[in-house]
A and B are shown apart, each in its own frame.
Chain A
Amino acid sequence: MKLKTYLLLAALGLHSISQPVRADETSDAIGQLKSQVEELTQKIKALERNREIEKEAAEEKKKATPTLSAGADGFWFRSAETNFALRIRGYGQFDGRYYGGTARAARDTFTIRRLRLGLEGTVYQNYDYKVLTDFGSGITSTPANNAFLQDAYVNIHYWPEFQVQLGKFKEPVSLEVLQSDANLLFVERGFPTQLAPNRDVGIQFQGDLFKNRLSYAAGVFNGVPDGGSGDVETTDSEKDFAGRIFAKPFKTTDIAALQGLALGVGASYGRQDGALGTYVTPGRQRFFSYLSGAGALATPNVAAAGEHLRLAPQGYWYWKQFGLFGEYVLSRQQVKRVSGATANVARLDNEAWNVAVSYVLTGEDNAFNTPTPLHPVSFKEGGWGAWEVAARYGELSIDNGAFPLFASAGSARKISSWGLGLNWYLNKNLKFNFDYEQSLFDAGTVKPNTVTSQDEHVFLGRAQFAF
């Protein structure tokens, strides 16, 4: 307003000094000058406003440059339009195991159960990739299984309904295997995972249908023993076919209590030669293995030798703070025992099942993935994080036909375990698990200080940091 007045006065002053004129001419001139001043004022205001807008636009442009961010979900590098992204992720699990009882085979120990670092991201919008490595305790490299490399794959997803995934990743059979190690309810996975394949190299077709109410995956892989992973096929040229369908039928309905119900079935089939799986207790003690020797008369050897079928019905139900998880796996494997010139063949049906129930005490929604604390631990704001209690029961039964010819000495026919767990999620990144597990063996050995000669009582603790 001041600017306008000054301009008007200046113009009038100049005008009146320059020439004496008649009243009507003066009035016209003043009118013209007024409109000129008004126009000038508008121009100046517009210039000022444009300068402000340019400044705002420059700030916006700054925001459109590639971003580097760090947060609870890891470290991100992203192009402005997000078609290219790289995320650094990782988690470490520091475990403690304490075995109760006086006569026992295992030693109480601290261990780095997993220490994983990974890269994942996207290129050209529709190509996702992931590489995950493990530096945990006891991770060694062998020709058949380089356990350092957990995942290494590319997922091509032009359409959510039909995606192609190639590389090394988890075979689509067991539900609990597909759950990330960082999201486990208990320190150790349930028995069904020991009969299912873990990570394998292959190609898989997968997709989500009907608004994510039904997902499917089907692929061809090298084939791995029960509970095993592999990078390369060294014993045969046969391939395993694996597939899984998983339905969340009520996900988009109004029935709130059933929206978190999911049911599915996974399966694999192939012919396998070579190594067989061994099975362990919740305390990681081996309670069953096949005979392993040179194949001579005094040192018989048992190996996979033919058809291998797995069947895995599975499901979960999460509603508000409550969670129920269950899975069954049948692993039917043809095996061959070689002892000098004698060979025995058998088809063995090993079975495992597991049911777990959990409840989040602090109000967060329970889910297949780790709950996110509503009030992360904070001394200033008084947050206590999220607390969860859990219980489970599971069994693993070995086919009676495995005894006595195929099983190693001291192996049990069956293990039954129950466990209780308390989980404390301090925030999205830090979690503590406290578990007690008790296991009973059927037809174990009586030899003292061996795994199956007595019940296993084990306390397991875990501190996990994940980002």
Chain B
Amino acid sequence: MKTFFGTLIALSLAITAGYAAKTVTLLNVSYDPTRELYQDINAAFTKEWKDKTGDEIIIKQSHGGSGKQARSVIDGLEADVVTLALAYDIDAIASKNVIPKDWQKRLPDNSTPYTSTIVFVVRKGNPKHIKDWDDLVKPGVKIVPANPKTSGGARWTYLAAYGAALKSNNGDAAKAKAYIAKFYQNAPVLDIGARGATTTFLQREIGDVLVGWENEALITLNELGKGQYEIVYPSISIVAEPPVSLVDKVADRKGTRKIAEAYLNFLFTPAGQEIAAKHFYRPRNAEVAKKFERTFKTIPTFTIDELFGGWQKAQQEHFAEGGVFDQIFKDNR
């Protein structure tokens, strides 16, 4: 029997030594405005991986509203990794036992390789003189945020506006609620996603202020509508943290865990961070952040944990059925 096992092991080694390079396909399910970011990340990572291992990787992308994307993964979309707008959406996937509940502790910075914040984009010359959050609720000002019920970015926008109102009213929730009601009264259109809101503001020429992701605002200024718009940083805003995670069950079933983990780790490397910064996402890496300090204006910020007690609580209080958003939306009708 010993001889037999010895022969088997020798046979195993001989066979595996003949292993040849192969092609692996990954699917990254992401949210609305990250298309261009991940096109560049994918190109850089596949090159690095091929140089290192000789293996080819094809990384497919899927984009849409963050909540909708999470639902698709729960429904069976075979994502190896998810890179979504908010932790609540990845928590929803984890609740189906396809990702461990402590997923956010697996990568640095709460599994958030880059951050963003919520800012304003106004038309050239800032005809409505928009400077801060209070200006958005003035009569005659039309704002364009996305719908918090369907968009992750829009939830960050809602929380930024609500949080700013809380801060300026010494934590008075009633005043903050009144503010947020007026805020959405001034929104003639609520788009399904952040990219849709950008389209509404830029292409359909609706509204005076686009309120949303800083990265979308900077793209608007630098690429989509060069010279036609201006960015306005409010006096305070929120730190928006779009997280990433491996989808363990899918990766294990497909045998892609190692590559998928390496892909996510790449986001935290200086190379990955630099690509994120080029696409106007605030990098975590201090050196890269220093290099791009002129791109990102420093403003006072607050976190969701500080003012809202984390995503689960915020979701329940503000966005769940019958929450604050439903109440003010009903009143606004």
Q: Do A and B bind each other?
A: yes
Which residue in B11, B74, B196 is a CB contact (below 8 Å) of A357?
Answer: B11
The answer to whether B8 touches A53 (Cβ under 8 A) is no
The answer to whether A60 touches B192 (Cβ under 8 A) is yes
The answer to whether B206 touches A46 (Cβ under 8 A) is yes
> In the complex, what residues of A have CB within 8 A of residue B196's CB?
53, 56
> In the complex, what residues of B have CB within 8 A of residue A50's CB?
188-189
User: Chain B: how many interface residues by the 8 Å CB criterion?
Assistant: 35
Bound-state CA distance A78–B96 (Å) is 14
User: Chain A: how many interface residues by the 8 Å CB criterion?
Assistant: 35
Residues A259 and B258 in contact in the complex (CB < 8 Å), given A322-B15, A355-B5, A363-B22: yes
Which chain B residues numbered 81 to 104 have a C-beta less than 8 Å away from chain A? 96-97, 100
The answer to whether A49 touches B206 (Cβ under 8 A) is yes
The answer to whether A49 touches B258 (Cβ under 8 A) is no
> Could you give, for residues 1-39 of chain B, a 1 whenever the CB lies within 8 Å of some chain A CB and a 0 otherwise?
000110010011001100110110000000000000000
Residues A363 and B20 in contact in the complex (CB < 8 Å), given A355-B4, A357-B11: yes
Which residue in B19, B188, B207 is a CB contact (below 8 Å) of A320?
Answer: B19
Which chain A residues numbered 62 to 107 have a C-beta less than 8 Å away from chain B? 67, 78, 82
Bound-state CA distance A324–B206 (Å) is 64
Which residue in A78, A160, A319, A320 is a CB contact (below 8 Å) of B97?
Answer: A160
> In the complex, what residues of B have CB within 8 A of residue A43's CB?
188
Which residue in B19, B23, B248 is a CB contact (below 8 Å) of A321?
Answer: B19
A216 contacts partner chain B, Cβ-Cβ < 8 Å: no
Bound-state CA distance A43–B140 (Å) is 12
B257 contacts partner chain A, Cβ-Cβ < 8 Å: yes
> In the complex, what residues of B have CB within 8 A of residue A82's CB?
74-75, 96
Bound-state CA distance A259–B12 (Å) is 16
> In the complex, what residues of A have CB within 8 A of residue B188's CB?
42-43, 46, 50
Bound-state CA distance A259–B20 (Å) is 19
Bound-state CA distance A319–B15 (Å) is 11
A129 contacts partner chain B, Cβ-Cβ < 8 Å: no
B142 contacts partner chain A, Cβ-Cβ < 8 Å: yes
> In the complex, what residues of B have CB within 8 A of residue A157's CB?
97
A57 contacts partner chain B, Cβ-Cβ < 8 Å: yes
Which residue in A49, A67, A254, A324 is a CB contact (below 8 Å) of B8?
Answer: A324
The answer to whether B8 touches A355 (Cβ under 8 A) is yes
> Could you give, for residues 346-367 of chain A, a 1 whenever the CB lies within 8 Å of some chain B CB and a 0 otherwise?
0000000001010100010101
Q: Closest chain A residue to B1 by CB distance? A: A353
> In the complex, what residues of A have CB within 8 A of residue B252's CB?
212
A78 to chain B, nearest CB (A): 7
The answer to whether B75 touches A67 (Cβ under 8 A) is yes
A405 contacts partner chain B, Cβ-Cβ < 8 Å: no
B89 to chain A, nearest CB (A): 14
Which residue in A160, A319, A393 is a CB contact (below 8 Å) of B16?
Answer: A319
A328 to chain B, nearest CB (A): 10
Bound-state CA distance A259–B19 (Å) is 17
The answer to whether A46 touches B255 (Cβ under 8 A) is no
B51 contacts partner chain A, Cβ-Cβ < 8 Å: no
A39 to chain B, nearest CB (A): 9
The answer to whether A56 touches B16 (Cβ under 8 A) is no
State the A residues within 8 Å of B (CB): 42-43, 45-46, 48-50, 53, 56-57, 60, 67, 78, 82, 157, 160, 211-212, 254, 256, 259, 317, 319-322, 324, 355, 357, 359, 363, 365, 367, 374, 393
Which 5 pairs of residues, A with B, have the shortest CB-CB distance? A46-B188, A365-B255, A322-B16, A49-B189, A45-B206
Query: Can you offer 13 A-B residue contacts whose CB atoms are under 8 A?
Result: A42-B206, A45-B206, A46-B189, A46-B206, A49-B200, A53-B189, A57-B150, A82-B96, A256-B258, A321-B15, A322-B19, A357-B8, A357-B15
